[in-house]
Chain A
Amino acid sequence: MLQYEFMQNAFIVATVISILCGVIGVFITIRHLSFLTHTLSEIGFAGASFGLWLGWTPLNGMLLFTIFSALAAGTANRNRPLKSTVISLISAFFMGLGVLFLSISQANSSYATNILFGSIVGISNHDVIQILLIALGELVVVFLLYRRLKFTFFDPLGAQNSIRHSWAINLLFLIMMSLSVSVVSQIVGSLLVFALLTLPAAAAQFFGRSTSSLIGLSIVFALVGTWLGLFLGYLTNLPVTFFITTVETIIYLGSALINKSLTLGIFHKS
């Protein structure tokens, strides 16, 4: 399987993206930002089709739209979270915009499927390098700002008095979220970024008791999903995305079940 270049590329990208999702996802889930992640990915869909229309790669179009949206959301709403109705409105508008760009770019329907549901085995060498650079850049930023990010995200009220410019950290994180959404879309598609950005981190919450253990578990859960997904996709010729989302769902449900039985066990003992 690994003798094929497209499979090598797929495994490299899947590994790096799983690590990125493991790290970023922990901060997304603790602040309950999953819905915003989904909105960003729908904005990304519009960006990808816009890119297609202009003859760019979908990834570049996606980056442009999501980063711009993150900057707009972060600067307009320093103190107030966006209302869910406003988020729904933005999602709907951008999905519509995406359909328009796809239509006027006269791309065939397989492009739309690739953007919406992912096409990891069709990834080019150029894309691999760009994805690696983005992911690496994000991981370096998280490494350097790790303690500040931790405090701001895991205890925003407590951090208020200790961390100056916590709004800047929030804005920076929004930008990192957009970058992550854009690169993760390359694997699972913009409609299913949830599967890697939030499910592994949410499953990790059942077991982890420190930020580092949450991140470690979340990376492992994401890796199991992407590696197994690629392997099963190769064996069966069915979509990789289907396997990744299924494995991640099973991991989440299994973790919830184990956690429940552990809790009940403790009650029985006492």
Chain B
Amino acid sequence: MTAQALIQVKNLKMRFDQHLIFENISFEVLQGDFFCIVGPNGSGKTTLLKILLGQLTPTSGQVQRQVDNSKIGYVPQFRNLDIEYPLSARSFVALKLSHSLIPWLSRSERQLVQNSLAQVHLTSKSSFRVGQMSGGEKQRAYLAQAIVNQPEILILDEPTASLDEHAKFLVMDVVQELNDRGTTVILISHDSSVLQRFGKHKLELTGAKD
């Protein structure tokens, strides 16, 4: 049985004013895929992600998604929570459960928070402040928040940028575990050591030549 395509992109073109970012981009992301978008700075990787998330409208081309935003977990680049950021990992993860009108968390919601912290191996640090965590731990806390409502697709924008080798692979091992359990992963990276070890399919953006 062939896997279902969750995202199909055809002939995508993006232009900001006179500047062409990319054109003729076509690909599909299958259920259970580990899909990497690679390319140098300025090649339009984050722009492409924002189009997939529906935050930007492409100049031309088609994007068909089988899942809506509520089933997509997104870890943006440049979160930069500083040392004074007060929330604990547990409270930070719970922020994502934002669609209820009741202020306090239900028992099942608290369980979801615990589960996602366990999946990123942060259970023992759940009451620590996110602002005071190391870079790798912060990244795993962001991941835990993105997966708290059990998304079908997880989209990660440069999750290993500015991490050392050890922290980088701790984060990526967690992503691989999530993928092994069935979550479709879309990863943006320009880190060759990560791309050598992870990912089933790759899309290379080279940057437009005008």
Contacts and interface: CB of A to CB of B under 8 A. Distances in A.
A144 B69 CA distance: 23
A233 B129 CA distance: 39
B88 A143 contact: no
A111 interface: no
Interface in B22-64: 53, 55
Given A151-B98, A155-B95, A163-B98, A210 B74 contact: no
| Of A150, A160, A161, A211, most B-chain CB atoms within 10 Å | A161
Nearest to B77: A157
B145 interface: yes
Given A158-B79, A158-B142, A209 B95 contact: no
Nearest to B79: A157
B91 A159 contact: no
Cβ-closest 6 pairs across A and B: A210-B91, A146-B103, A209-B88, A151-B98, A147-B98, A161-B74
B84 A205 contact: yes
A125 interface: no
Given A155-B92, A157-B78, A147 B87 contact: no
Nearest to A164: B69
Interface size on A, as a range, is: 20 to 34
A154 B92 CA distance: 8
A150 B102 CA distance: 13
A157 B76 contact: yes
B76 A162 contact: no
A205 B129 CA distance: 11
Given A144-B101, A150-B98, A151-B96, A158 B76 contact: yes
Q: Looking at chain B, what size class is its interface with the partner chain?
A: 20 to 34
23 contacts: A30-B86, A147-B95, A147-B97, A147-B101, A148-B98, A148-B99, A150-B95, A150-B98, A151-B96, A157-B76, A157-B79, A158-B95, A159-B95, A161-B74, A162-B69, A163-B98, A209-B88, A209-B127, A210-B90, A211-B87, A211-B91, A212-B104, A214-B86
B175 interface: no
Contact of B99 (A144, A147, A158): A147
Contacts of B97: 147
Contacts of A145: 101
A160 B84 contact: no
Contact of A158 (B69, B91, B145): B145
Given A210-B91, A214-B86, A159 B55 contact: no
B100 interface: yes
B72 interface: yes
B70 interface: yes
A208 interface: yes
A150 B100 CA distance: 12
A160 B76 CA distance: 9
A262 B101 CA distance: 37
Given A155-B95, A158-B145, A161-B74, 15 more contacts: A143-B103, A146-B103, A147-B99, A150-B95, A158-B76, A158-B79, A158-B95, A160-B55, A161-B53, A161-B55, A161-B72, A209-B87, A210-B88, A211-B91, A212-B103
Contacts of A154: 87, 92, 95
Given A158-B79, A161-B53, A147 B100 contact: yes
Contacts of B91: 209-211
Contacts of A214: 86
Nearest to B74: A161
Interface in B65-82: 69-70, 72, 74, 76, 78-79
